Structure 1
Amino acid sequence: MDSQTISLVRTTFKAVAAVDGGPERLTSSFYATLFTDYPEARDFFPAAMETQRDRLLRALAYVVDRLEDPDTLLPFLAQLGRDHRKYGTQAAHYTAVGLSLIKALRNFAGAEIWTDDVDKAWNDAIGVIASTMIGAADDDTNPAVWGGTVIENRRVLRNLSVIRLKLNQPMDYRAGQYVSVQIPSRPRMWRYMSPANPANRDGIVEFHVRGVTGGWVSPSMVGHTSVGEQWLLGSPLGALGVPANPARDLLMIGCGTGIAPLRAQVLELAEWTTSRRVHLFVGGHHPCDLYDLEALWELQLDNPWLTVTPVTESEDNPWWHVDDFRNAPAGMSTRLTGQIGKVVASLGSWEDRDIQIAGSPSMIQTTKFRLMAGGTPTENIRHDPLY
């Protein structure tokens, strides 16, 4: 895409986003248009659309912000194309989505904004997006979905489980990536989750799942998943993973179950001979949220290149958790108190490190801004798209 096309697409999208309630109204209008003009498309989506609308909005914003960075955008779109195979998506579906999005944008923007040049720019952009996704899907020789049998659901907190599956065939994913998951009790409600272990020939995948209050899927995963249950997994997504440059040490910052993709990379590094130092900060609201800390301490004892530092915002556990927090073994970092981004930024600029952040969108944004304010180069910081 040329610079004029990119400028017109970005300007139009920002104009829509600047209107009060604009983004939400745009996504609602898009899905209303899609389901009216192409009613057969409704079968691809869940009954409850709130999460789907939010996901579309974040994905659009991510793509629009990276139109000038094809080295980042095109691999992202290719991954999405491979992942969309799980829906049975065909080329005609991309046409329907593109036409519906343009119609919704045109109706929302009005004639003054939606000129012939803008219309052409959006058609060109959607053409690039669709062709990249379709091409990646057509070239993929992996399964459209993997089946997985639950072999363990271990409750480690009242609202958190470690769930392990055995896949019907091994999945070749990078430690640090995530996959979409569907459980039998919530059809068509795919949720993104990061394996907490590296890919292996046995096809064993471990997920750390926190039940979100009011959530549609995660409470069912934690509270009702039984051994023998069959889950479905989509293609691996995401750009996190051990950086190729072995000369740079690593800083990893994970909060809650966001520790999973970082844990997978540490486990992978433990299988290699590595000279790079890894400093892993593990955060939570309460001490009990550091549910995997003892396993990480054991990894540190066996691997002198690894340093694990626990951080909690509160000194005490909530009233419903009665177990005491285990003190750090000899040689381990003591637990620090404070907001994890603030704590890490206070310890230096980390300008010599490759940095990864994993957790909730708000945690990632806050931590990233604090590191940048402390002198960390933006290009050193990586995280997955915030949706």
Structure 2
Amino acid sequence: MINADRLKKNWSLVASHGEQVPLYFYSTLFLTHPEVRDMFPMNMASQRDKLVAALGTVISNVDTIERVVPHLQQLGRDHRKFGALRDHYPAVGQALLATLEHFSGPHWTPAIASDWSAAYDLVAQTMADAADEAAHRAPAWWDAEVVAHDRRDLDTAVITIATSPRLDYLPGQSVTLCTNWRPRVWRYYTPANAPRADGTIDLHVRAVDGGQVSTALVTLVQPGDAIRVGPAVGTGLVMRREAAPRPIVMLAGGTGLAPMKALVEQVAAAPRPVALYWGSRAASGLYDLDGMRSMAAEYDWLDFAPCADEDLFGRGVPSGSPAELALAHRRCTGAEIYLCGPTGMVEASHKLLVDSGVPAGAIHYESLGE
């Protein structure tokens, strides 16, 4: 039986060594099992961060492991796109135990080694079983072709892709993308449309500083290029089924507009009142303003309200954040609220809503990381 307190204390000791921990782990893994190196990107900086975050999540919940089982199962399914097989898990476990022993120093004991081995075996078993089950239902990835690339401004593009075979997803879910311009580097993007009969998917992409995939998608990718797409993931923004459907408030920042457009298309099948507030730091960043105004004109149940911190180009939008305006307009009482945008915007909006009396359970957002 795993001693949760002992494991947490040991992880705290190991994690105090910071970046040295993932560096040592991956160095050990690649030296002892060089055949797995091609599964990882050339630049490992982001991957190292993911390792520490994943370990921290598991260890912090080790005494209530059932809470992270869905997360582990999703990781297992998602790792199929990297080519991860059940046979790879023992190699990772060996490198992990070697790393933990190294940074534990004299505090490493047979009891702690047994705890870690048992915890890893549980994680590996859960991930591998989920991956095996998923292999019977869907591909590890989908090949896609870029069929349209609309550069809206210097940093933003709307890209339309067609997958083969068809990729099924729910409005509000996300997919990961990998392009030949940045091999083996995957990033999350959320379809900006509900599933279509022709299987095409719109993606809203904004190039960010240091963003390998986003920069390539905005500046380098062209129609006809091939892209690899991972399976749909996430439940945070998937619309809830309600016995008595309530009004909906959508708060979007930047390209966080994408899932809101998909959800609006979903609501169109069974309309109810929707208020969509879309904000940007500057009005010039509202890259789909004309399209959203056209959508609002088509649906009489949709109230669209753009906003910006400042209106440098006189686009006629009010100042303020989406959450501030929604609260000022008294839209949030009794509504289901869907929230998407940059991390800082989501965190600030969530706090503002809760502090204003909105029940936390009525606020829905996704947290997938990079």
Normalising by structure 2, report the TM-score. 0.88
Provide the C-alpha distance between the structure 2 equivalents of 1:355 and 1:117, rounded to a whole number of angstroms: 47
CA drift of 1:6 comes to 4.5
Report what 2:124 is aligned to: 130
Q: Aligned to 2:96, what secondary structure does the other structure show?
A: helix
Q: CA RMSD in A?
A: 2.7
Report what 2:320 is aligned to: 338
For the pair 1:383 / 2:365, whether they are aligned, the reply is yes
Inter-CA distance 291–80: structure 2 relative to 1 (3 Å threshold): same
Provide the C-alpha distance between the structure 2 equivalents of 1:67 and 1:343, rounded to a whole number of angstroms: 41
User: In 2, are the aligned partners of 1:170 and 1:201 still within 8 Å (CA)?
Assistant: no
CA drift of 1:162 comes to 0.6
Match of 2:39 among 8, 30, 44: 44
For the pair 1:220 / 2:177, whether they are aligned, the reply is no
Quick one: which amino acid aligns to residue 77 of structure 2? Answer: R
Report what 2:252 is aligned to: 254
Provide the C-alpha distance between the structure 2 equivalents of 1:47 and 1:64, rounded to a whole number of angstroms: 28
Quick one: which amino acid aligns to residue 269 of structure 1? Answer: V
> Which segment drifts farther, 44-53 or 123-132?
123-132
Q: Aligned to 1:151, what secondary structure does the other structure show?
A: strand
Matches for 1:277-292 after TM superposition, within 5 Å: 277-292=273-288
Report what 1:330 is aligned to: none
Matches for 1:112-191 after TM superposition, within 5 Å: 112=107, 114-140=108-134, 141-191=137-187
Report what 1:244 is aligned to: 241
Provide the C-alpha distance between the structure 2 equivalents of 1:66 and 1:358, rounded to a whole number of angstroms: 26
Provide the C-alpha distance between the structure 2 equivalents of 1:379 and 1:66, rounded to a whole number of angstroms: 22
User: In 2, are the aligned partners of 1:159 and 1:222 still within 8 Å (CA)?
Assistant: yes
Report what 1:295 is aligned to: 291
User: In 2, are the aligned partners of 1:259 and 1:358 still within 8 Å (CA)?
Assistant: yes
Provide the C-alpha distance between the structure 1 equivalents of 2:319 and 2:66, rounded to a whole number of angstroms: 39
Quick one: which amino acid aligns to residue 51 of structure 2? Answer: L
Report what 2:97 is aligned to: 102
Provide the C-alpha distance between the structure 2 equivalents of 1:83 and 1:347, rounded to a whole number of angstroms: 41
Matches for 1:201-212 after TM superposition, within 5 Å: 201-212=197-208
Report what 2:349 is aligned to: 367
Q: Aligned to 2:36, what secondary structure does the other structure show?
A: helix
Matches for 1:55-66 after TM superposition, within 5 Å: 55-65=50-60
Quick one: which amino acid aligns to residue 21 of structure 2? Answer: L
For the pair 1:273 / 2:263, whether they are aligned, the reply is no
Q: Which runs of 5+ in 2 are unaligned?
A: none
Alpha-carbon displacement from aligned partner over 1:332-371 (angstroms, at most 9, x marks no partner): xxx3323445555566694633333222222222222222
Provide the C-alpha distance between the structure 1 equivalents of 2:109 and 2:52, rounded to a whole number of angstroms: 23
Inter-CA distance 310–80: structure 2 relative to 1 (3 Å threshold): same
Provide the C-alpha distance between the structure 2 equivalents of 1:341 and 1:33, rounded to a whole number of angstroms: 47
Inter-CA distance 355–34: structure 2 relative to 1 (3 Å threshold): farther
Report what 2:338 is aligned to: 356
Q: Which runs of 5+ in 1 are unaligned?
A: 318-323, 328-334
What's the % identity of the aligned pairs? Answer: 32
Q: Aligned to 1:207, what secondary structure does the other structure show?
A: strand
Matches for 1:322-333 after TM superposition, within 5 Å: 325=315, 327=316
